[in-house]
Homo-oligomer: A and B are copies of this chain.
Amino acid sequence: MRPAILLLSGGLDSATAGALVRKRFRLHALSFRYGQRHAVEIRAARRVARSLGIRDHRVMSLDLAAWGGSALTDRRIAVPRNRRIGPGVPVTYVPARNTVFLALAAAFAESIGAKNIVVGFNVLDYSGYPDCRPRFLRAFERVLAAGTKAGKGWRIHAPLIRMTKAQIIRAGAAAGLDFSITHSCYDPDRRGRACGTCDSCVIRRRGFREAGVKDPTVYG
């Protein structure tokens, strides 16, 4: 099987993306401890990697909180609560974060002879993040074709890109994913329990409701 790097956050999207492609690729997972408020997601990422049978899971440290610029990396910026999620880039956008993550996934990929990267990005339910859009991914493939020794042939696979959260949850459930091991909350309490009111919790809860799947998350 061809090797691929799975960008694995520990959330339900990247876990589902991994579950959907695991039969097509030999997956290597990459997660980041980037100074995020919800670093507890790394524990979830480890659980997900294990459940997907991924033996090579790297966790890289990267201090994006050094410059902050996001509610996720700067404690002085509050995480919005129970807001009506509309268009526009939210304060939880981390400057160029997915550009950085894809660049590092490509570095890891090239070192093991892989040219495929798998991500859980999607744009339907929450389109505020510019670095989840299809044209960003296509542009990034062109950067890799131009700027790597490996050259042409890179593919960034985003199997959920046009799915709603409910569709993602149904797809993950159908693939046998245990959602109780995933973590979505941006602002968990000290024990790592989901707040239930940040954008990520709001979208997750609504997704389970719309999917008609029981949400195993314990909200604080």
Contact = CB atoms under 8 A, between A and B. Distances in A.
Interface of A: 58, 60-64, 66-69, 89, 93-100, 102-104, 106-112, 130-131, 133, 135-136, 139-140, 142-149, 151
Contacts of A104: 96, 100, 103
Contacts of A60: 62-63, 66
A58 B67 contact: yes
Contacts of A136: 143, 146-147
Contacts of A61: 61, 63
Q: Say how many copies of this protein the assembly contains.
A: 2
Contact of A111 (B58, B95, B147, B151): B95
In this complex, the member of A58, A68, A133, A149 whose beta carbon has the largest number of chain B beta carbons within 10 angstroms is: A149
A134 to B, nearest CB: 9
A97 B104 CA distance: 8
Max count, chain B CB within 10 A of own CB: residue among A60, A68, A112, A143: A143
10 contacts: A60-B66, A61-B63, A64-B107, A93-B149, A95-B110, A96-B144, A100-B104, A130-B148, A133-B146, A143-B143
A111 B67 contact: yes
Contacts of A148: 95-96, 99, 130-131
A139 B135 contact: no
A66 B28 CA distance: 14
Contact of A146 (B62, B68, B135): B135
B93 A99 contact: no
A68 B112 CA distance: 9
A106 B99 contact: yes
A107 B100 contact: yes
Interface centre among A60, A61, A67 (most CB of B within 10 A): A67
Given A139-B139, A142-B143, 13 more contacts: A58-B67, A60-B62, A67-B112, A95-B109, A95-B148, A95-B149, A96-B104, A98-B147, A100-B107, A130-B148, A133-B147, A135-B146, A140-B143
A91 to B, nearest CB: 10
